[in-house]
Amino acid sequence: MLNGIKYVRKGLSEILFPSVCSVCGHALSSAEAHVCNFCIRNKFELASSGNASTSDVILPEGIEVQYALWNFDKGGYLQDLLHDLKYNRLTGIGTDMGKALANQFRKHHTVDPGSTILLPVPLHPAKFRKRGYNQAFYIALGMKKIMGIPIVKPADVIRIKNTKTQTGFSLEKRRENINKAFEIRNPEAITGKTCIIVDDVFTTGATTFELAGELINVGAGKIMITTVAQA
């Protein structure tokens, strides 16, 4: 009886207050969290699908792929969505974008789900407590739903340095800021695996390159970097 009442209330709520796309305002389907599939496919500029890298950044030795889904649009819808994902607890935006990222990534790169892991860039515990969640985890969750690849346990790879925001820093300052920021607590979870690092925005690569270096040091196999956007 109580379950029946719950479903009726849910149905009435969806009729009276339907969920709408954060971009176009149209009603969302049950499979869409915050952004409709039409906007995912048409509202943002796809990044170049270059062989190893979608950006002009030279990849350090040991990193095979740097792949971004879209080009960052300063002042546009994508910037607003990423801000809402990161600071306004709209984690469903992350899963929507993660699914889109995975679908495009698979068109250009092939991995074995049985020997591959998804690694969201970790947050420092102090920042996690303040924010309450890691936005990169929800992007990885969306990718997992499409690719069937497990996500590394948060305790296996941690952030030990509470870095300042990288925004506005030069490349040299970014590298200095992020140096020795990560620690691999469970090397067995990494050794021999293809590691897909997941983050929201790729700019200079300082953060993901630093994390990749730690993974390489414990014997990771292939290293791939995936992000929703590149600036």
Assigned CATH topology for domain 45-230: Rossmann fold (3.40.50)
Q: Show Cβ contacts of residue 184 under 8 Å, excluding neighbours closer than 6 positions.
A: 156, 157, 190, 214, 215, 217, 218
Please state the domain extents for the chain.
45-230
Q: With a threshold of 0.85, does the pTM exceed it?
A: yes
The answer to whether residue 1 scores a pLDDT higher than 70 is no
User: Which CA distances in Å does 142 have to 134, 145, 147?
Assistant: 13, 5, 9
The answer to whether residue 30 scores a pLDDT higher than 90 is no
pLDDT tens-digit readout, 134-176: 999 999 999 999 999 999 999 999 999 887 676 666 767 777 7
